[in-house]
């Protein structure tokens, strides 16, 4: 952020100088082209334009530095990539929900609940969570991934439906098997 602020400081110096130069050139050129024209207003207008640009740069820097100080969600494209990655483990992963991501400084975090076959062994579900976590970490080094594994019985809450990886037929089949047991 300090480097970005320094870069913006340099930019504003350049834009300020360019604005003053452009204002002077316009006033000088208009005196040659239109003798007697009063364009003294050009300087203040250029100054206002430069001031607005400086205010916008300051606002952008404040917003960006505040994001680094506070926890914010990962960018939408990163969350979408994580969703696609989890979905690539279907059919072993039947669905997921409550995906929460955040970024705090240079640290990234992803947490979600994952649904697997209710009859799956703890060992197998643990291996799946390890594979998912490892491959997410390969794409986003240093990310902390927390996966809560839950049994899937084919009955999805509205929260679960959003990222359910089962077809309607698969849900009915799973529910039928559960009723038999």
Show the domain range for 19: 2-69
| CATH code, 169 | 3.30.70.1350
| Category of 163 on φ-ψ map: left (φ > 0), alpha (ψ -120 to 50) or beta | alpha
Q: How far from the centroid of its chain's Cα atoms is residue 45's Cα? A: 37
Query: What is the spatial distance between Cα 83 and Cα 112, in angstroms, rounded to a whole number?
Result: 10
Question: Domain end: 45, 69, 93, which one?
Answer: 69
What would the pLDDT profile of 95-106 be if each residue is shown by its tens digit?
898 999 998 777
Angle at 33 between CA 30 and CA 37, to 5 degrees: 50
Quick one: 21 and 60 in the same domain?
Answer: yes
At 20 the pLDDT is 78
Q: What is the pLDDT of residue 126?
A: 95
54 and 136 assigned to the same domain = no
How far is 136 from 100, CA to CA, in rounded Å?
14
What is the tally of structural domains in the chain?
Answer: 2
Task: Look at residue 177 in the predicted model and tell me its pLDDT.
Answer: 59
Q: Beta strands of the chain (E only): which ranges?
A: 93-104, 107-117, 144-152
Question: What is the rounded distance in angstroms from the CA atom of residue 154 to the CA atom of residue 60?
Answer: 47
Q: DSSP string spanning 17-46?
A: HHHHHHHHHHHHHHHHHSTT---TTHHHHH
Which residue positions in the chain have pLDDT lower than 70? Answer: 1-2, 67-69, 71, 154-163, 171-181
Task: Mark which of 69, 86, 105 sits at the end of a domain.
Answer: 69
Q: Are residues 126 and 152 in the same domain?
A: yes
pTM of the model: 0.58
> Tokens 């001031």 identify what position?
51
């Amino acid at each position: 952020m300090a480097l970005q602020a320094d870069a913006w400081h340099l930019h504003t110096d350049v834009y300020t100088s360019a604005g003053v130069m452009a204002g002077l050139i316009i006033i000088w050129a208009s005196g040659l082209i239109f003798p007697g024209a009063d364009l003294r207003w050009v300087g203040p207008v250029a100054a206002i334009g430069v001031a607005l640009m400086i205010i916008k740069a300051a606002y952008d820097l404040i917003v960006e530095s505040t994001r680094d100080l506070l926890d914010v969600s990962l960018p939408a494209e990163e969350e979408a990539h994580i969703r696609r990655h989890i979905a690539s483990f279907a059919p072993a992963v039947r669905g997921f929900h409550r995906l929460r991501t955040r970024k705090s400084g240079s640290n990234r975090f992803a947490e979600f609940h994952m649904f697997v076959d209710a009859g799956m062994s703890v060992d197998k579900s643990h291996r799946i969570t390890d594979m998912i976590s490892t491959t997410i970490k390969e794409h986003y080094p240093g990310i902390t991934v927390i996966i809560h594994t839950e049994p899937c019985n084919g009955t999805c809450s509205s929260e679960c439906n959003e990222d359910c990886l089962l077809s309607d037929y698969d849900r009915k089949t799973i529910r039928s098997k559960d009723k038999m047991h």
